[in-house]
């Protein structure tokens, strides 16, 4: 099976500052449905997490240097979480990801380089 990372990209403040409690609850219900759909369709989640807000980030600049608080880049969109998924059918994985996109999340799916990939 090939491994992919599903990156959830969006406005990091949207979930906590502008959504009502009901909207957040409904959004998390979609994530639960996404998890169920992945399992039902034979995809295996091997890791992942919701990331804490960008205010908790620590950054090191390109080339090294002092560690600073906050994100390296100022951007309206940032990675807010990720799933690591093993699958034999990336097209179906992308279809499952539509559930998250429908609630306003940007989704980026990337293959993971395995040791085999690096050796070939």
Q: Domain containing 107 — which CATH number?
A: 3.30.70.1060
Residue appearing with tokens 């992308």? 94
Residue appearing with tokens 């559930």? 99
* pLDDT for the residue numbered 114: 79
Q: Judge whether 7 lies within some domain.
A: yes
State the pTM of this model.
Answer: 0.85
Q: Judge whether 17 lies within some domain.
A: yes
In percent, the amount of the chain with pLDDT more than 90 equals 53
Eight-state DSSP code of residue 46: E
Q: Judge whether 35 lies within some domain.
A: yes
Q: Judge whether 15 lies within some domain.
A: yes
pLDDT at 13 over 70: no
Domain count, the chain: 1
pLDDT digits (tens, 9 = 90+) for 44-83: 999 999 888 777 888 888 899 989 887 655 666 788 899 9
Q: Judge whether 99 lies within some domain.
A: yes
Dist. CA 36–CA 69, nearest whole Å: 36
Q: Judge whether 59 lies within some domain.
A: no
Domain holding 15, by residue range, is 2-50+77-119
Task: State how far the alpha carbon of 61 is from the alpha carbons of 29, 68, 80, 118, in Å.
Answer: 37, 9, 20, 26
Q: Kindly write down the DSSP assignment for every residue of 7-32, as one continuous string.
A: EEEE-TTIIIIIS-HHHHHHHHHHHH
Q: What is the mean pLDDT of the chain?
A: 88
Question: Which of 106, 46, 113 shows the shortest CA–CA distance to 79?
Answer: 106
Q: Judge whether 19 lies within some domain.
A: yes
């Amino acid at each position: 099976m090939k491994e992919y990372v599903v990156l959830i990209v969006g406005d990091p403040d949207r979930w906590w500052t502008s959504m009502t409690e009901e909207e957040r609850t409904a959004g998390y219900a979609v994530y639960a449905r996404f998890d169920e759909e992945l399992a039902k369709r034979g995809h295996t989640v091997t890791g992942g997490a919701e990331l804490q807000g960008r205010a908790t980030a620590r950054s090191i600049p390109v080339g090294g240097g002092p560690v600073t608080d906050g994100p390296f880049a100022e951007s309206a969109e940032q990675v807010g979480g990720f799933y690591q998924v093993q699958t034999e059918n990336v097209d179906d994985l992308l279809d499952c990801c539509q559930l998250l996109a429908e609630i306003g999340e940007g989704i980026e799916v990337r293959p993971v380089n395995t040791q085999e990939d690096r050796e070939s």
